[in-house]
Amino acid sequence: MVAEIDRLEFLRWANAAHPGRGVQAPGVDLSGLDLTSLNLSNANLRGANLSGADLNDPDLTGAKLSEANLHGVMGVNGKEQKRNSNV
């Protein structure tokens, strides 16, 4: 089951995350959210729905994205991604 979340709630999670641990949002629906330039280092986004999300210039160092839906994600190069993550 994927839980829905809005950008404001996600920003609260990201800001409240322990610096070494990162935001914990496995299985959360983040589809279509503007996540531009967010610090998502060490984030747990396993199984999250990121379809259509804007991921231009976020810090994804150490982020866990296995099983995340990345279809239609706008990446750093501005091009749409066309696959699911199997990382």
Mean pLDDT by groups of 10 residues along the chain of 87 residues = 69 78 89 88 93 90 93 69 49
Q: Is the pTM of this model over 0.95?
A: no
Contact 29, 10 (CB under 8 A): no
End-to-end CA distance of the chain: 20
* The pLDDT value given to residue 87: 46
Output the pLDDT for position 80.
52
Whether 75 and 54 have beta carbons less than 8 Å apart is answered as no
